[in-house]
A and B are shown apart, each in its own frame.
Chain A
Amino acid sequence: MPFELPELNWWAIAPVLAITLTGSLVMVVDLFTQRRRGQGHLAVISLAGLAVTAALSLLLWNADEEAAFGGMIIVDRFAQFFNLLFVFVVAVVVLMSQEQLDREDFHPGEYYSLLLFSVAGMMLMAAAGDLIMVFLGIELLSIPLYILTGFSRRRIESEEASIKYLLLGAFATGFLLYGIALVYGTTASTNLGCVAQTLGTRSALATDLCAVPALTAVTLPAMLLTGMGLLIVGLGFKAALAPFHMWTPDVYEGAPTSLTAFMSVASKAAAFAAILRVFLIAFPTLVADWGFMLAIIAVITMVVGNTVALLQQNIKRLLAYSSIAHAGYILVAVVAANELGLLAVLFYTVAYALMNLGAFAIVILLGRRGEENLLLGDYAGLGYRQPVLGALMTIFMLSLAGIPPTAGFVGKFYIFTAAVQADQVLLAVIGLLASVISAYYYLRVVYLMYMVEPARAYAAPARAPWVSLAAGLAAAGVLVLGIFPSQILEIAQASVRFLG
């Protein structure tokens, strides 16, 4: 059989190329300007590159849906939606990092380029049309993050977190690969469309590369179910679903705060994008099987995340467990597997990005060089010491707790409405009761800020205009999305048409 090079449509991966080039450019420029004192130009280059990336994604928004690179990459609005989300998140994170680069003497060149490379991996995950691409995306996403986690060289926790993340991450990737292998063993393909076709659905994505005729239900082996289960483990690790969440609190606590914000929001969104791609495109016929598995994981995740968060004394660990719980909510919408559920996943990732980035921005703003102020007790009286910070944090906490009129409420509302529509009433009830539990620890931050006198005097936080800007933007987003969710819903609706 002669080897044919598949037709390469570079345009299809233009955003990924743009962001990769930006990352490389930042590295090179850094090399030649290392002696300069200020490093603001690197941030500017990164933001400019992100703007180009966003523009390319917007251009691709109206492009025809197609599979490129021999079915490896899917170009559709779903991918562009996530591209734009990732670009937005990383732009906010770049703003949020300004203060920390300074405070912790980071080397900005590597910091920015690694962030950007990681985003390239996320984009590939959201656009993946093949299990191999999912794997490549995860690796490209993870390796920069392993390094970045250990970026606070002076803090031993940071290094510990980095090693822990690397080891457990490698382990999880092993599960993912094994899962891919088992799926390949059953269906003779790693292409999502081909897998679907082999399992008996007509898929628009199936190419003529698909080899094996449809399997009948009788021959459906346990191997495939095992493979699916292992895929859930591998992707669940990245999304921080319980019981694959053990790394989350330590890594989130150890990593530099701006990076924690990035991981908690962007990696999670990427993992969910991949979960939706894989399970909805490749395994729609087996929805009962994986739906059941994911439903159980969702319940465990919501319960574990929310109950363990109750006991936390460190704000970063609290937000880590809270991020686990939120992954559980999103998973409920995945389990619903209807159009509203898909909408809810997309809406919630946006809402969650806004409120979590905002909360972490406040965490950064509260710290100073050599004094991070990460204990919950450090929030005592904040509402009166720093009225604006207190008010913004209140908005983020109420949104995370799902109290109207915030984006968090609307997001939860869609998620559980989707669950009710899919007759998953029990799941909806458990989820809502879990969010009542969560209200307790979010409210704890609020009452510390407004109802408890601080135990000691605090110096005024350093002026950090860029971080403040990020927090302000996030708060405005949380409220606008909470009061006028219509716009983003329309966009989300357009984005999921292909999957649904």
Chain B
Amino acid sequence: MDQFPLLSTLIFLPLIGAVVALFFPRGNELWLRVWALFVSVVVFLFSVPLWFSFDAAEVGFQFVEVLPWVPEVGIDYRVGVDGISLLLVLLTTFLMPIVILSTWNSIEQRVKEFVSVALLLETAMIGTFLALDLFLFFIFWELMLVPMYFLIGVWGGPRRIYAAVKFFLYTMAGSALMLVAMMALYFLTSVPTASGHTFNLLEILRIPVPSDLQVWLFAAFAIAFAIKVPMFPFHTWLPDAHVEAPTSGSVILAAVLLKMGTYGFLRFCLPLFPQAVVAAVPLIALLSVIGIVYGALVAAMQRDVKKLVAYSSVSHLGLVMLGIFALTPIALQGSLLQMVNHGISTGALFLLVGMLYERAHTRIIDDFGGVAKLMPVFAAFFLLVMFSSVGLPGTNGFVGEFLILLGTFEAAALNLQIYAVVAASGVILGAVYLLWTYQRVMQGPVREHVGTNGHGLRLTDINAREIAVLVPLAIIILWIGFYPKPFLDRTAASLNAVGQRVAAESGRPVLAGPR
């Protein structure tokens, strides 16, 4: 069927935009920004048909494109989208224009390089979500590191080089093991072509991976993904990266890059190694719960708002991981939705923190006071985003967290009730530190001049551009909060299939019976 190569357009349009940006003459900062915004908006517009023409009832991959690439070793260019990747791709294309708009004034140095790097990153991210060939997936997966490394290292804070290198090496070390596991899977396949083996994910899904091998391969994949998530105890790169990265880098990191880890679990670990997954549930659930509580406690102790948000990510993603490994359809759906939610709310939180920092040149909570009086619009947005992050009913966060906790509690066969209880208390801790932060920053006596020595800059409320950055996020927060059905509908079929596959192949009744 000769259809328009929609997915390839999504992947490579930003790359073309990045290359074109390199040829802009120097001194055209405004045009470079306009160009980047234009490209990212066009990419987003191309991704909109995906949402509408996606067939929610279809379990398999849609919009599939296949081209032979390295036939000698069985590598294809193969992309496709299903219920698992759909929302994440849309999240990426939706956030990129917002990120670029948010950097309008904050990135003033080396705009050309920034624009190219940001667009290159978009290519890598979308490619990672859409790749259906392990080799292709790995290419995009590693390709993501390079622009992110530059983003942190060039435009970041004082310890940016340390943070950038740490980020790079941590992730690369994880993926080295994953690469070996991919090769092992490759040699398990057998196809009637010249190469005899293939990296095609669909073929690999068809092979039964021997039980004794599952443990090893699962471990290799899981470490790579756990570092990316990041799960406790692999999380130490995250606060460094977040604190040093520029706002745009933090937003992309939190909103999309961290999802690569959880996406990897859903896409590869669960369907490929069901027995190992079931065996690993107690361990992963334990680490997740530790992450939830530990992340929340450490976040509560932070003086730097950005670091606080960074640790809150550890906590939130712990909840997502718990939901994934509860393995019930409801928990899986909650996890996927919560991945999107976390992208929206934490992305928005980083944007808000960035706006505050641009004005005050400090992120230390104690330096602020009564900001709500000086910046009422800002405070309103902050409140909404915070509610979403806390999981207040009526916002997106509530739906995701509720589904995860419900699904986890329901996972009777895996005895996860106690974890659900602890996780729920972690959610309450989240409310504690965020509300406390709001109280200290927004309320109390007004400190008109913020700064370390008391005569810093004057705070002014956010301008129209910044409102334009935040409004789309606010709309999504409320949309998912009040009417999540269109989102859940589109993910249901694929996630149910994954859940059933795990149940069937692991031989364990992981699904709760009908009541």
Contact = CB atoms under 8 A, between A and B. Distances in A.
Interface of A: 340, 384, 398, 403-405, 409, 413-414, 416-417, 420-421, 425, 428-429, 432-433, 435-436, 439-440, 443, 446-447, 450-452, 485-486, 489-490, 493
B129 interface: no
A404 B137 CA distance: 11
Contact of A404 (B71, B73, B143, B180): B143
Given A403-B145, A405-B139, A439-B168, A428 B71 contact: no
B161 A451 contact: yes
A437 to B, nearest CB: 8
A275 B169 CA distance: 33
A355 to B, nearest CB: 15
Given A429-B177, A440-B169, A398 B154 contact: no
5 contacts: A404-B143, A425-B184, A428-B180, A435-B176, A489-B72
B427 to A, nearest CB: 36
Give the 5 A-B CB pairs with smallest separation, nearest first. A432-B176, A420-B183, A404-B139, A451-B153, A436-B173
Contact of B164 (A405, A420, A447, A485): A447
Contacts of B183: 416-417, 420-421, 428
B110 interface: yes
B146 A429 contact: no
B154 A451 contact: yes
A403 B180 contact: no
A486 B168 contact: no
B179 interface: yes
B176 A429 contact: yes
A433 B173 contact: yes
A349 B70 CA distance: 19
Nearest to B179: A432
A254 to B, nearest CB: 31
A276 to B, nearest CB: 19
B160 interface: yes
| Chain B residues touching A, majority SS | helix
A484 to B, nearest CB: 8
A404 B142 contact: yes
Contacts of A409: 139, 142
Nearest to A394: B146
A443 B184 contact: no
A417 B180 CA distance: 8
B398 interface: no
Given A404-B142, A450-B153, A451-B161, A421 B180 contact: no
B146 A421 contact: no
B6 interface: no
Given A432-B176, A443-B149, A489-B73, A420 B187 contact: yes
A446 B176 CA distance: 21
A450 B142 CA distance: 20
Interface in B182-204: 183-184, 186-187
B72 A451 contact: no
Interface in B60-96: 69-73
Nearest to A404: B139
B138 interface: yes
A376 B192 CA distance: 51
A452 B113 CA distance: 15
A447 B176 contact: no
Given A403-B146, A486-B72, A416 B180 contact: yes
B148 to A, nearest CB: 12
A184 B134 CA distance: 48
Nearest to B136: A404
Contacts of A450: 113, 150, 153-154
Nearest to B139: A404
A416 B161 CA distance: 30
